[in-house]
Structure 1
Amino acid sequence: MKKKKNIIYRVNLSILLLFYCLIFESFTYATENMLKNSFQLNTENELDDNFNPKINEFWEKNAQSSRLLGVNNKEIYTVSIKTGSQKAIVISQGRNESILKYKEVAYDLNQQGYDLYLIDHRGQGFSERLGTDRYQGHVEHFQDYVDDFNHYVLSLDLQKNYQQSYLLSHSMGGTISALYLEQYQHPFAASVFFSPMFSINLGGIPESIASIITYSSAEICSWFSDSACYIFGGSNFQKKSFLDNDFTSSKVRFNSSFNTFEQHPETQLGSPTMRWVAESLSAAEQARENASQITIPVLVIQAGTDSVVTADGQNEFYKNIKGCKEAQFITISGAKHEILLEADKYRIPALSATLNFLKKSQQGILRCTK
Structure 2
Amino acid sequence: MQQAPFLSEICETAPDGRAYWLDTADGPRIRAVLWPAENARGTVLMFPGRTEYAEKYAQTAADFAKEGYATFAIDWRGQGLAERLLDNPKIGHVGVFSDYQRDVAALIAAAEHLELPKPWYLIAHSMGGAIGLRALMEGLPVNASVFTGPMWGIILNAAARPAAWAITWASRKLGTSNGLAPGTRQDAYVLTEPFADNTLTTDPDMFEMMRQHLLTHPELSLGGPSLNWLHEALKETLELSRQPSPAVPCITFVGTNERIVDPRRIQSRMACWPDGQLVEIDGAEHEVLMETPAIRASVIRQCVDLFEAHCDRDEQTAPVAC
TM range (shorter): 0.7 to 0.9
Is 1:319 the counterpart of 2:271 in the alignment?
A: yes
1:71-109 Cα offsets, whole Å, 9 max, x none, are 431010111112341311000000011112111111111
- Once the two structures are TM-superposed, the CA of residue 202 in structure 1 deviates from its matched residue by 1.4
Identify the match of residue 234 of structure 1 among 162, 166, 184.
Answer: 184
Report the equivalent of 1:174.
Answer: 129
Question: Larger Cα Rg: Structure 1 or Structure 2?
Answer: 1
Q: Is the 8 A contact 1:158 1:165 kept in 2?
A: no
Match of 1:21 in 2: none
2:260 paired with 1:308: yes
Map of 1:265 onto structure 2: 218
Q: Which residue of 2 aligns with 1:22?
A: none
Q: Select 1:200's aligned residue among 134, 154, 160.
A: 154
Structure 1 residue 349: Cα displacement: 2.4
In the alignment, is the contact (CA less than 8 A) between 1:100 and 1:257 conserved in 2? no
| Residue identity (%) | 26
1:96 aligned onto 2:51: yes
Match of 1:330 among 264, 267, 279: 279
Match of 2:208 among 255, 263, 266: 255
Deviation at 1:64, TM superposition (A): 0.4
Partner of 1:16: none
Rounded to whole Å, the distance in 2 between the matches of 1:361 and 1:208 is 42
Q: CA deviation at 1:186?
A: 2.9
Which amino acid in the other structure matches residue 195 of structure 2? F
Quote how far apart the aligned CAs of 1:351 are.
Answer: 2.3
| Contact 1:98 1:120 (8 Å CA) reproduced | yes
Q: Return 5+ residue gaps in structure 1 as ranges.
A: 1-51
Give, in whole Å, the separation in 2 of the partners of 1:206 and 1:236: 21
1:211 aligns with 2:137: no
**1:77 aligned to 2:31?**
yes
Q: Is residue 291 from structure 1 mapped to residue 244 from structure 2 by the alignment?
A: yes
Q: Which has the higher helix share?
A: 1
Contact 2:11 2:58 in 1 (8 A): yes
Other-structure match for 1:3: none
Residues 297 and 368 in structure 1, CA contact (< 8 A), matched pair in contact too: no
Unaligned runs of 5+ in 2: 1-7
Of the candidates 111, 134, 143, which is equivalent to residue 98 of structure 2?
Answer: 143
Alpha-carbon spacing, 1:168–1:234, altered in 2? closer, same or farther (3 Å): same
- Amino acid corresponding to residue 289 of structure 1 in structure 2: R
Question: Partner amino acid for 1:260?
Answer: H
RMSD of Structure 2 on Structure 1 (CA):
2.5
Residues 365/304 of structure 1: CA separation in 2 closer, same or farther (3 Å cut): farther
Q: Judging changes above 3 Å, is the alpha-carbon distance between structure 1 residues 233 and 159 closer, same or farther for their aligned structure 2 residues? A: closer
Question: Counterparts of 2:116 and 2:206 in 1: how far apart (Å)?
Answer: 33
> Counterpart amino acid of 2:199?
D
Checking the alignment, whether the CA contact within 8 Å between 1:297 and 1:366 is kept in structure 2 is no
Q: Which of 298, 309, 314 is the aligned partner of 1:349? A: 298
> What is the deviation of 1:365?
11
Deviations 1:16-71 (A, max 9, x none): xxxxxxxxxxxxxxxxxxxxxxxxxxxxxxxxxxxx99x945533x2001111124
Q: Structure 1 residues 231, 206: closer, same or farther in 2, change over 3 A?
A: closer
- State the alpha-carbon separation in 2 of the partners of residues 210 and 233 from structure 1: 11
Q: Secondary structure at the match of 2:26?
A: helix
